Amino acid sequence: MDRLTANNISVSYGGNKIIEDISIVLHKGEIVSLLGASGVGKTTLFNVLSGLLVPDSGTIAMDDEDITGKTGKLSYMLQKDMLLPFKTIVDNVALPLVIKGKKKKEARQTASSYFEEFGLSGTENKYPKQLSGGMRQRAALLRTYLFSDQVALLDEPFSALDTITKSNLHQWYLMVMENIKLSTLFITHDIDEAILLSDRIYIMTGKPGHITEELAVDARKPRGEDFLVSDEFIRYKKHISMVLKQQEQK
């Protein structure tokens, strides 16, 4: 089932075309990565998908509804966790429910029911400054899920973490996604991360940015750390690296 589709999206700023003729699809329950170098237009595309930016041409649909230029239809998690420092973790996480009209007590109860599954038990009444970077990202992801359990856009959510924390969070993320089946489009410039997490990868290159290749990652999930040193993983990495290198030479 197609959950989110973008058809022939192009965007220009000041007469300069940033992205051109981009078409992608996200199926129900998938994790799909948008992989490309910084400055290729990945965040611009996310701003279009989320309705924050109206494209020069093209359309966005979610579950067959045209949502081009409409905000509030799907959730969007930025690189920083954006947790409010003066609110407890449970109130930060419950915020989307309050915005949607739930009473604060009910919103807290709903949010709290997910804390164990997201590895956040015991943090309900703590403040963001009391949590590690990895725990704050878990809270931010839960908040994103409570905003929309249909489609989430994640813009390099693990990029600011150290290597060990990132590795641990990747394994946790794969486990959680197996349970909640959130349809997710994931921006990254990290080839290893894209291969480890994704069902499919869109490789984005060029100026203006465009989709160069769509690659299915057929390795069985959940994928442990041993997958990162497997022959299968190395084949995917060599192929992606070759595609990116060829595009750089054009």
Q: pLDDT digit string (tens) for 106-145? A: 999 999 999 998 989 999 999 999 999 889 989 999 999 9
Confidence of residue 210 (pLDDT cuts 50, 70, 90): very high
pLDDT of residue 250: 67
pLDDT of residue 165: 84
In three-state form (DSSP H/G/I as H, E/B as E, the rest C), the secondary structure along the chain is CEEEEEEEEEEEECCEEEEEEEEEEEECCCEEEEECCCCCCHHHHHHHHCCCCCCCEEEEEECCEECCCCCCCCEEECCCCCCCCCCCHHHHHHHHHHHCCCCHHHHHHHHHCCCCCCCCCCCCCCCHHHCCHHHHHHHHHHHHHHHCCCEEEEECCCCCCCHHHHHHHHHHHHHHHHHHCCEEEEEECCHHHHHHHCCEEEEEECCCEEEEEEEECCCCCCCCHHHHHCHHHHHHHHHHHHHHHHHHCC
Q: What is the pTM of this model?
A: 0.90
Q: Which residue ranges make up each domain of the chain?
A: 2-74+150-248, 80-147
Mean pLDDT of the chain: 91
Q: pLDDT digit string (tens) for 163-202? A: 888 888 888 888 888 888 889 999 999 999 999 999 999 9
CATH level 3 topology of 2-74+150-248: Rossmann fold (3.40.50)
Q: pLDDT digit string (tens) for 131-141? A: 998 899 899 99
Residue 247 pLDDT exceeds 90 = no
Looking at 157-161, 223-227, 228-232, which range is the least confident one? 157-161
pLDDT of residue 246: 84
